[in-house]
Chains A and B, each alone.
Chain A
Amino acid sequence: MNKSNLFLTAAVGLMVWSGAAQAQFTDNKVKIGVLTDLSGTYSDLAGQGSIEAAKLAIEDFGGKVAGVPIELVTADHQNKGDIGSAIARKWYESDGVDAIFDLVTSSVGIAVREVSKEKGKIDVNSGAGTSALTNDKCSPTGFHWAYDTYALANGTGNAVVKQGGDTWFFLTADYTFGQNMQAQTERVIKVNGGKVLGAVKHPFPNADFSSFLMQAQSSNAKIIGLANSGSDTINAIKQAKEFGITQSGQQLAALLVFITDVHSMGLDVAQKMLLTTGYYWDMDDPSRAFAKRFAAHMNGKMPTMVQAGVYSSVRHYLRAIEAAKTDDGPKVADKMRELPIVDFFAKNGHLRPDGRMVHDMYLVQVKTPQESKVPWDYYKVLRTIPGDEAYQPLSESTCPLVKK
């Protein structure tokens, strides 16, 4: 860049800056970041699909909100907290990003939450599971959208114990999500009169589960609880079959399963499994309509609850900006809490002071190969769990923003 250009840019920058002060928009646009796993074990359940979902939401606004253009930036955090937080910091400090979405995997979710909180910027997490996001790590500008470990433990844990699975052994992914998932399922088991016989932590991600499964087998627990996700869950289930663990009477309870996991395992392996989800594409007309639009961009793949959650959260964020006429983090966050969330994803959703988006969850069972009629026809919905029952009661939250 030559000298006169530099001055020109500086001058334009100044004008933009002073102009923005009146219109309440920094740099005269709304810049949205989708920070996700584009290459790793979660790239199927979030990844490119989350980016497409965000694009669909922006498309529905015609690319503009409150008179300013919407811009989308994306990056791959490789499931590493340090990479994620470095990108978030750069986005906020030097690229003018106003809000970050998706944020799959808990370690990245928490790392970015710290940065967003410090900068007063909005982060809406649809991908990560840990309920710490709405407890110790809660933020006035941070939201947790699609699901969390508490709701999963509540849904699946309850159902399994009630079917007679009252002694458990856990295979736990050794990071926030896994530990959180295990602790909360243990709570549900104990409340229902069940017992936890032991647990083993495995590295994340992990390929060979044989020795961990051997430990689980010698515990003689009725249920082997899988407090992990993505390819770890798939590998553990496949290898349990290989080592004859399921044949010898022990059952597996996978606590976090996405529809893409079922797809890659195949119904033959996954059939009859119980799981809890925040969204299923074949639920009703609005959810099918979104799934159809999504699939058209994604080679026929159906959206997961994470990807659907990204659409729903970006849409709600943009609606709040439209109403608040600013992209200022705390003001938009207030507006987001004020407006109800009604779309195909959340029939009657609302945001609580701890940042939790409360919406209905579904207990589903995976169909057998005979029951499945069309591609991606995988779930039978057994029960709708009302949002207030599914999620941690506000009174139990350790979030300092909750007034008691």
Chain B
Amino acid sequence: MQLSRQTLFTLALLLIGLVLPHFVYPVFLMKGLCFALFASAFDLLLGHVGLLSFGHAMFFGFAGYVTAHAAREWALSPELSILLGVLTATLLGLVTGWLAIRRQGIYFAMVTLALAQMMYFVAVEAPFTHGEDGIQGVPRGLLFGLIPLNDPLAIYYTVLAIFVLGLALIHRVVQSPFGQVLKAIRDNEPRAISLGYRVDQYKLLAFVLSAGISGLAGSVKALVFQLASLTDVHWHASGEVVLMTLLGGGGTLFGPTLGAFVVVIIQNSLAEAGSWVTIIQGAIFVLCVLAFRRGIVGTLSPWFAKIGIKV
């Protein structure tokens, strides 16, 4: 059988993902994977519809809360807890998206930011989130009643599988006819309208999808770290996912993933150095915006394209 370079490249990446936990601390890798999925979901809007949401933390964080609550208080299985988290994020996406897509560009960013801040204060006030303390000691449980997720490798491979499926779904959506319409809206919205597409419905559907997958990432993160906290609904988290996407390269398949890992590595290596993480993130932001708007993968992609690999 003749394997294309693209397939080989994807398989190689997968192989790295499979062996890496034997060399690197798995919780760290899982954190990277969760944020990578989150950034990829976010990029579905930014890179493929041209909508910059500054409030995606509400989906990520709230799904985490619901999953943590379901697993801890209702003793639901991990798969059901995650499902509930994703459903919550999807519904939240439907409501906030319906409001936000009425505006474009900067206005859209501001509206999503403000709605997310509202959800942040809801999280602060609502009793089930336990405010400042967050939901702690979330049991990881048995996946499908069989796989004990307390085992570091078992949960790692589960998270990896979810990540791969999530990324495949996003890729599939982008390649589909639906995705082509989204691109048309991104490049020239008035033209898409004049062609008879009901642009608002397409945008809303993309928004809801993006919210749902962000929720998936948040739910998984809650199980990995066994806690859900205000950090993940704060606007800093919304900003972080923008940074990851921008740095890695928006509108590419692997850009957000790479960006997420770079940011998580920075956070990890500077965790004990106080505010330097924020300073460096800010500096990267400024550099990316001024001089590096296509991101790492966006810059490398012509080079990869020459050897027949789409990244």
Chain A contact residues, CB within 8 Å of chain B? 38-39, 74-76, 80-83, 85-87, 89-90, 93-94, 106-107, 110-111, 114-115, 174-176, 203-204
Contact = CB atoms under 8 A, between A and B. Distances in A.
Contact of B274 (A38, A80, A93): A38
A176 B25 contact: no
B136 A85 contact: yes
Given A76-B274, A111-B227, A175-B133, 12 more contacts: A80-B229, A81-B133, A82-B225, A82-B232, A93-B25, A93-B27, A107-B134, A111-B133, A115-B226, A174-B124, A176-B130, A204-B132
A139 to B, nearest CB: 11
Interface of B: 25, 27-28, 124, 130-134, 136-137, 152, 225-227, 229, 231-232, 271-272, 274-275
Contacts of B275: 39
Majority SS at the chain B contact face: helix
Contacts of A174: 124, 131-132
Contacts of A83: 231, 271
Nearest to A117: B137
B275 to A, nearest CB: 7
Give the 5 A-B CB pairs with smallest separation, nearest first: A175-B132, A114-B137, A82-B229, A107-B133, A94-B25
Contact of B132 (A75, A86, A107): A107
B225 A86 contact: yes
Contacts of B229: 80-82
A371 to B, nearest CB: 38
Contacts of B130: 176
A76 B133 contact: no
A87 B31 CA distance: 13
A38 to B, nearest CB: 7
Contacts of B231: 80, 82-83
Contact of B136 (A76, A81, A90): A81
A248 to B, nearest CB: 31
A367 B13 CA distance: 68
Contact of B134 (A74, A90, A111, A203): A111
Contacts of B124: 174, 203
A87 B227 contact: no
Nearest to B274: A39
Nearest to A132: B133
B132 A114 contact: no
B133 A176 contact: yes
Contacts of A203: 124
Contacts of B131: 174-175
10 contacts: A38-B274, A76-B272, A82-B232, A85-B226, A85-B227, A90-B27, A106-B133, A111-B227, A176-B130, A176-B132
A107 B131 CA distance: 10
A53 to B, nearest CB: 19
B171 to A, nearest CB: 30
Contacts of A89: 27, 225
Contacts of A85: 136, 225-227
Contacts of A86: 27, 225
A110 B133 contact: yes
Contacts of A175: 131-133
Nearest to B28: A90
Contacts of B272: 74-76
A175 B124 CA distance: 10
A75 B274 CA distance: 9
Contacts of B227: 81-82, 85, 111, 114
Which of A82, A85, A94, A203 has most B Cβ within 10 Å? A82
A266 to B, nearest CB: 28
A114 B225 CA distance: 11
Contacts of B271: 75, 83, 87
A288 to B, nearest CB: 33
A176 B25 CA distance: 31
A382 to B, nearest CB: 33
Contacts of A115: 226
A181 to B, nearest CB: 14
Nearest to A109: B133
Contacts of A76: 272, 274
A284 to B, nearest CB: 37
A115 B224 CA distance: 12
A154 to B, nearest CB: 23
A97 to B, nearest CB: 13
B25 A81 contact: no
A93 B153 CA distance: 13
B103 to A, nearest CB: 30
Which of B124, B227, B272 has most A Cβ within 10 Å? B227
A81 B274 contact: no
A82 B137 contact: no
A82 B224 CA distance: 12
A114 B25 contact: no
B148 to A, nearest CB: 13
Given A81-B227, A175-B131, A111 B274 contact: no
A76 B278 CA distance: 14
Nearest to A173: B132
A338 B55 CA distance: 53
A357 B132 CA distance: 26
